[in-house]
Amino acid sequence: MQPIIFIDDEAPIREAVQQWLELSGLTVRTCARAEEALALLDAEFPGVVVSDVRMPGMDGLVLLAKLQALDPELPVIMVTGHGDVPMAVEAMRQGAYDFIEKPFTPERLLASLQRALDKRRLVGENRALRRQAGERGRIEGQLLGVSPAMVELRRQILELAPTAVNVLIRGETGSGKERVARCLHDFGPRANKAFVALNCAAIPEQLFESELFGHESGAFTGAQGKRIGRIEHADGGSLFLDEVESLPLAQQAKLLRVLQEKSLERLGSNRSIAVDLRVISAVKPDLAAEVRAGRFREDLLYRLNIAELHIPPLRERREDIPLLFNHFAREAATRHGREPRPLTAADLARLLTHDWPGNVRELANAAERHVLGLGRAPATSGPGQSLAEQLDAFEAQCLRQALQQCRGNIAEAMALLQLPRRTLNEKMQRHGISRGEFVEG
């Protein structure tokens, strides 16, 4: 519901206008002074402001100037007395949306408000679209991939990032779980707060409690001073628990209590410390199976798994392999001061038919070795794909490379690939390739 703020120093007028508008189904907040209204407004205010011109203290024209500085697209309707028409004209010149002369009828005010609310709604929708477009561009630079699975993963991240829900990320070793967790943090309202990552498999069990909850000086032998734990450090931000299945059962119970009560106690202290955090967890095995085996608490699983993201392994999105390999190769070439080495057709075929059990991490390693001349792309491993599937993947990559080289120019791609337009169009459609992916800008 789009709210309306109505400002007038006369109480009977405020009460009458509020009654009229609420009977028309609108949400109204009335203020006696401009200063009071200004404290309620920011650049994201989704509604409309209606203000009298002549008021004690800050008058309507000064308020209008301040609102224009806050958001030039905020509709402000000015209400004027009979003798203030020249002032109203000046207000319109300064950016007021409309002016209404006293005494006015409810119908006159409602008509102006409906137009102003429609305008404000369109402004809000356009801003949201621009933000989403900007975020899509940014996240595509963080999570590379043109496969439908990666497009869907990026969409889900942008949908979940603005929320406060805890998220469980599933993915194989090396698939990029921490990168996904970082995107959930960076594209949400907690981005300017701490992102604290903890690998639960890398901490000895006897150090877990101190690492997570912190301790006071003298809490145990060797506790020389006070320590702020990872949970407290993440206050206001995000706590990323990688390999959360490795969390000891005793610490699972204490973490559950923190999530339920939104507070913790350091080791050696009885004082509760309030914490506000979002927990993002990553897991390789099926946590439900861990619960059945008695190694993971079911109630904690429900707390951590409000929403779930699945990162597909590379073998399920082979069309992303050349793009990722080239990205890692360019990074490695810059890092080592080398010129990028081109891939041969045989190299590309090996990349596309390898199963990549180490996923993106293994691919990055292969790209660095390629740049350093330490070995060719890995040979096929595991059962791999059928010959038809391998040829299909290779054809899709050839099309993408040609369109990339030609910056989406179909005529140039036809000449480069020596294909007629109809054949090229059919192949692009079959592989789900759009010319727009390669057009600059």
Amino acid at 154: R
The set of long-range contacts for 325-330, using a CB threshold of 8 Å and a minimum separation of 24, is 325/351, 325/363, 325/366, 325/367, 325/370, 325/377, 326/367, 327/144, 327/367, 328/363, 328/364, 328/367, 328/368, 329/367, 329/368, 329/370, 329/371
* pTM of this prediction exceeds 0.85: no
Specify whether 269 is located in the same domain as 167: yes
CA 248 to CA 167: how far, in whole Å? 20
CATH code at 365? 1.10.8.60
Specify whether 170 is located in the same domain as 202: yes
Specify whether 319 is located in the same domain as 300: no
In a domain, 59, yes or no: yes
Number of domains in the chain: 3
What was the pLDDT predicted at 82? 64
CATH code at 277? 3.40.50.300
Specify whether 158 is located in the same domain as 115: no
Specify whether 243 is located in the same domain as 283: yes
Q: Which residue has tokens 């561009």?
A: 137
At residue 324's C-alpha, the angle toward residues 319 and 328, to 5°, is 160
Domain boundary among 312, 333, 363: 312
Q: Which residue has tokens 């080239």?
A: 326
In a domain, 412, yes or no: yes
Specify whether 349 is located in the same domain as 230: no
What was the pLDDT predicted at 440? 64
Nearest-CA neighbor of 17 among 34, 5, 35, 2? Answer: 5
* Token digits of residue 56: 């004690």
CA 101 to CA 79: how far, in whole Å? 6
What was the pLDDT predicted at 225? 65
What was the pLDDT predicted at 214? 84
In a domain, 236, yes or no: yes
Specify whether 359 is located in the same domain as 434: yes
CA 14 to CA 142: how far, in whole Å? 51
- Identify whether the C-beta of residue 32 lies closer than 8 Å to the C-beta of residue 9: yes
CA 373 to CA 394: how far, in whole Å? 23
Burial class (CB in 10 A: 0-12, 13-18, 19+), 417: middle
What was the pLDDT predicted at 387? 59
* Token digits of residue 433: 């390739």
What was the pLDDT predicted at 381? 47
Residues present in the chain in total: 441
> Distance of CA 401 to CAs 1, 332, 351, 353, 354, Å?
48, 21, 15, 18, 20
What was the pLDDT predicted at 423? 86
Specify whether 230 is located in the same domain as 288: yes
In a domain, 131, yes or no: no
Domain enclosing residue 216, as ranges? 144-312
In a domain, 279, yes or no: yes
Specify whether 170 is located in the same domain as 279: yes
Domain boundary among 68, 100, 126: 126
In a domain, 61, yes or no: yes
Domain boundary among 312, 343, 360: 312
In the sheet with 307-310, reading across from the earlier edge strand, the strands are 195-199, 238-242, 278-283, 167-170, 307-310
What was the pLDDT predicted at 362? 94
In a domain, 138, yes or no: no
Specify whether 161 is located in the same domain as 301: yes
Specify whether 304 is located in the same domain as 334: no
Q: What is the mean pLDDT of each run of 10 residues along the chain (441 residues)?
A: 90 92 92 92 90 89 91 91 71 85 89 92 78 68 88 94 95 94 94 93 84 75 74 94 92 92 86 93 88 93 95 91 89 89 80 90 93 68 56 77 84 87 86 80 49
Q: Could you tell me which residues come within 8 angstroms of residue 119 by beta carbon, excluding any fewer than 6 positions away?
A: 75, 97
Specify whether 337 is located in the same domain as 304: no
Percent of the chain that is helix, strand, coil (3-state, to 5):
55, 10, 35
CATH code at 30? 3.40.50.2300
- Identify whether the C-beta of residue 185 lies closer than 8 Å to the C-beta of residue 191: yes
CA 306 to CA 281: how far, in whole Å? 11
In a domain, 132, yes or no: no
